[in-house]
């Protein structure tokens, strides 16, 4: 038999046996790898994440008010496939089954968000206890299953009423309302929820919601106003931190969950690394850096010029209220940087057209991002606790005739990113946990149901969840506490 033929036969046989696997999750239990044998630190927190509008559905139930996403998805042409979050994953009703899926992965933590308009239908004023009750049920069910609830206060579903009355995040009235809402939630849930993220991805909802009109509320404001909205989001973060401290149970931890502008040294030399440190601080000057340092950098103010936000010292104090951890959403490399003798001290390189990306065009594959960004962030901001609050990828995720989803591209992505994350923790970078985006396919904002990020495939007609092969992969990583390259 020629080599060619035997290879082909082998491939066929291997294919058949793969197809014979009854469930990818029925794998033998992996043994945890002891520290030193190439693994994550003991106690490393493994989790998955979702957000309210993307999974809950039930948008008119139990007194929920309208959010800006309910309205925005109605605007013709805004959502690629014309869908919306009315039904999404019906998680509002199926949360118990979904928690069982989290448990099946072996996750110790689940990051979810509270829909503000469920709790305050108008954003402020009269609360709606029935809305909060959903989160009471969710939290209790998580704890019953040995899963830590990690709560995000804001994942973009702003109450429409605040948009209508105040222009949303253009006004500090919305910041104040957010502080009051944070206090209300903290008072009622932090007897069981020990960790709270304030705002998810200010960088995304500000620039996409108020800058280029891609996300809700779909505005395209001039730069000065965008900078003001960004400042207001930092202020809202600070007010929420203070509210959690004042109204939460003692020891509740709180921090941001930001899509940090990811800067990476083009080459691993001390000069390039230094340039990347400077770049990370400057490129994140309008949010993470002002949160940590309590001031806008000189370079940021100079660059913004007359477009710089207007603020007071008192606001800077609130913005920089001490946090307990940094949550970083890390997906794609944004800037590869080199040293420069220009005043900034760094220069971002152009990204070649041929740079590889995953199924989503924006999602460049750069596994080293999840090594460098936490490492540099820990150094420049002297933080002792970082959580990767999101990482993951979309995929084509076709269901094969045997009913399974062999998402080897997602496994490739995760395997490489997790190997780099492990490398960071092995060097002592204080990354304490990782939340994979996402538990299951869901309503992916402007992409509608077209983009799938889940470990579980969702048939949105039947609501059937099916584990993808990556669910087995992740389960194995968690069981071994090692990236397992
Ligand atoms: C993050 C968001 O930006 O990336 C998630 O926090 C989102 O909510 C995920 O689902 C994927 O983004 P997108 O734009 O591809 O749907």
Residue 368: per-residue pLDDT: 98
d(CA 373, CA 205): 21
Q: How far is CA 367 from the centre of its chain?
A: 16
In a domain, 485, yes or no: no
In a domain, 400, yes or no: yes
- Ligand 1 probe mutation, 88, 364, 444, 447, most atoms within 8 A of CB: 444
Tell me: pLDDT of 483 over 60: yes
Helix, strand or coil for residue 436?
strand
Q: Which residue has the tokens 């996402």?
A: 438
Range of the domain at 341: 3-480
d(CA 350, CA 71): 37
- Ligand 1 probe mutation, 445, 448, 455, 458, most atoms within 8 A of CB: 445
| 459 or 343: which leads in pLDDT | 459
d(CA 362, CA 359): 9
Residue 318 pLDDT grade (very low, low, confident, very high; cuts 50, 70, 90): very high
Contact indicator for 142, 116 with CB cutoff of 8 Å: no
444 known member of a binding site: yes
d(CA 412, CA 48): 18
What are the pLDDT digits (tens) for 354-370?
A: 999 999 999 999 999 99
Find the catalytic residue in 201, 282, 315, 368.
201
Residues in the chain: 485
156 known member of a binding site: no
Contact indicator for 131, 119 with CB cutoff of 8 Å: yes
* Four-CA torsion 149, 154, 155, 159, nearest 10 degrees: 130
390 included as an active-site residue: yes
Residue 5: per-residue pLDDT: 33
d(CA 367, CA 15): 29
What are the pLDDT digits (tens) for 173-224?
A: 999 999 999 999 999 999 999 999 999 999 999 999 999 999 999 999 999 9
335 known member of a binding site: no
Counting the structural domains of the chain, the total is 1
227 known member of a binding site: no
360 CB within 6 A, ligand 1: yes
Tell me: pLDDT of 30 over 90: no
| Paired strand residues for 49 | 111, 437
- Indicate yes or no: pTM above 0.75: yes
Residue 94: per-residue pLDDT: 99
Q: How far is the CA of 446 from the centre of ligand 1 (A)?
A: 10
Picking from 129, 113, 112, the residue whose alpha carbon sits closest to that of residue 62 is: 129
Q: Which two tokens stand for residue 404?
A: 């399974």
Residue 31: per-residue pLDDT: 52
46 known member of a binding site: no
Residue 38: per-residue pLDDT: 81
In a domain, 29, yes or no: yes
Kindly state the percentage of the chain with pLDDT values over 90: 91
Tell me: pLDDT of 6 over 70: no
Tell me: pLDDT of 18 over 50: no
d(CA 124, CA 54): 23
- Ligand 1 probe mutation, 395, 447, 453, most atoms within 8 A of CB: 453
d(CA 106, CA 355): 34
Kindly state the percentage of the chain with pLDDT values over 70: 92
258 CB within 6 A, ligand 1: no
Q: Which ligand 1 atom lies nearest to the CA of residue 51?
A: 8
Mean pLDDT of 408-434: 98
Q: Which ligand 1 atom lies nearest to the CA of residue 438?
A: 10
Mean pLDDT of 77-96: 98
Residue 391 pLDDT grade (very low, low, confident, very high; cuts 50, 70, 90): very high
Q: Which residue's alpha carbon is nearest to atom 2 within ligand 1?
A: 201
Mean pLDDT of 44-56: 99
* Four-CA torsion 82, 71, 120, 234, nearest 10 degrees: 90
Q: How far is the CA of 331 from the centre of ligand 1 (A)?
A: 10
Residue 485 pLDDT grade (very low, low, confident, very high; cuts 50, 70, 90): confident
Contact indicator for 128, 121 with CB cutoff of 8 Å: yes
With left for phi above 0 and alpha for psi between -120 and 50, is residue 146 left, alpha or beta? left
d(CA 401, CA 152): 38
Tell me: pLDDT of 2 over 50: no
Q: Which ligand 1 atom lies nearest to the CA of residue 442?
A: 10
156 CB within 6 A, ligand 1: no
Cis peptide upstream of residue 217 (ω within 30 degrees of 0): yes
- What spatial distance separates the first Cα and last Cα of the chain, rounded to whole Å? 33
| 19 or 56: which leads in pLDDT | 56
Q: What one-character-per-residue DSSP string does 332-391 give?
A: S--EEEEE-SSTTSEEEPPPPTT--B-SSTT-B--TTHHHHHHHHHHHHH--S-EEEEEE
Q: Which residue has the tokens 């108020």?
A: 210
Tell me: pLDDT of 29 over 80: no
Q: Which residue's alpha carbon is nearest to atom 16 within ligand 1?
A: 444
CA R_g for the chain: 22
Q: How far is the CA of 255 from the centre of ligand 1 (A)?
A: 19
What are the pLDDT digits (tens) for 251-308?
A: 999 999 999 999 999 999 999 999 999 999 999 999 999 999 999 999 999 999 999 9
141 included as an active-site residue: no
Contacts of 163 (CB under 8 A, 6+ apart): 68, 217
397 CB within 6 A, ligand 1: no
Helix, strand or coil for residue 68?
helix
Q: What is the largest CA-CA distance in the chain?
A: 80
Contact indicator for 40, 427 with CB cutoff of 8 Å: no
| 25 or 469: which leads in pLDDT | 469
Per-chain mean pLDDT for the chain: 93
Q: What is the CATH number of the domain that holds 248?
A: 3.20.20.80
Q: Which ligand 1 atom lies nearest to the CA of residue 447?
A: 16
What are the pLDDT digits (tens) for 442-451?
A: 999 999 999 9
Residue 36: per-residue pLDDT: 47
Q: How far is the CA of 443 from the centre of ligand 1 (A)?
A: 10
445 CB within 6 A, ligand 1: yes
Residue 343 pLDDT grade (very low, low, confident, very high; cuts 50, 70, 90): confident
Residue 362: per-residue pLDDT: 97
d(CA 69, CA 113): 15
């Amino acid at each position: 038999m020629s080599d060619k033929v035997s290879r082909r036969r082998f491939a066929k046989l291997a294919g058949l046996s793969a197809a014979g696997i009854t469930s990818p999750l029925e794998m033998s239990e992996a043994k945890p790898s002891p520290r030193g044998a190439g693994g994550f630190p003991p106690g490393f927190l493994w989790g998955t994440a979702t957000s309210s509008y993307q999974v809950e559905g039930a948008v008119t139930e139990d007194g929920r008010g309208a959010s800006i996403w309910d309205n925005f998805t109605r605007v013709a042409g805004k959502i690629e496939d014309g869908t919306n979050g009315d039904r999404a994953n019906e998680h509002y009703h199926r949360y118990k089954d979904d928690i069982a899926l989290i448990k099946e992965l072996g996750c110790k933590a689940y990051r979810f968000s509270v829909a503000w308009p469920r709790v305050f239908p108008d954003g402020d004023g009269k609360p709606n206890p029935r809305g909060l009750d959903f989160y009471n049920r969710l939290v209790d069910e998580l704890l019953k299953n040995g899963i830590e609830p990690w709560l995000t206060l804001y994942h973009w579903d702003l109450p429409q009423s605040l948009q209508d009355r105040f222009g949303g995040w253009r006004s500090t009235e919305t910041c104040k309302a957010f502080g009051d809402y944070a206090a209300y939630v903290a008072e009622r849930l932090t007897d069981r929820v020990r960790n709270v993220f304030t705002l998810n991805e200010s960088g995304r909802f500000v620039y996409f919601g108020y800058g280029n009109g891609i996300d809700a509320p779909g505005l395209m404001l001039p730069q000065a106003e965008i900078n003001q909205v960004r400042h207001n989001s930092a202020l809202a973060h600070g007010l929420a931190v203070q509210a959690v401290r004042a109204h939460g149970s003692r020891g509740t931890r709180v921090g941001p969950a930001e899509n940090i502008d990811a800067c990476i040294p083009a080459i691993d030399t001390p000069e390039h690394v230094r340039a990347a440190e400077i770049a990370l601080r400057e490129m994140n000057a309008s949010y993470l850096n002002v949160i940590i340092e309590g001031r806008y950098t000189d370079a940021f103010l100079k660059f913004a010029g007359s477009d710089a936000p207007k603020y007071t010292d008192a606001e800077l104090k609130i913005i920089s209220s001490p946090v307990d951890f940094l949550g970083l959403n890390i997906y794609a490399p944004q800037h590869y940087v080199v040293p420069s003798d220009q005043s900034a001290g760094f220069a971002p390189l152009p990204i070649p057209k041929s740079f590889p990306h995953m199924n989503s065009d924006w999602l460049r594959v750069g596994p080293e991002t999840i090594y460098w960004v936490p490492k540099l962030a820990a150094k420049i901001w002297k933080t002792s606790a970082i959580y990767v609050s999101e990482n993951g990828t979309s995929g084509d995720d076709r269901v094969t005739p045997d009913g399974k989803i062999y998402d080897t591209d997602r496994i490739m992505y995760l395997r490489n990113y997790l190997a780099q994350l492990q490398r960071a923790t092995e060097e002592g970078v204080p990354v304490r946990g990782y939340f994979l985006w996402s538990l299951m396919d869901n309503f992916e904002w402007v992409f509608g149901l077209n983009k799938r990020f889940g470990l579980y495939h969702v048939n949105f007609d039947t609501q059937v969840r099916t584990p993808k092969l990556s669910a087995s992969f992740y389960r194995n990583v968690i069981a071994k506490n090692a990236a397992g390259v």
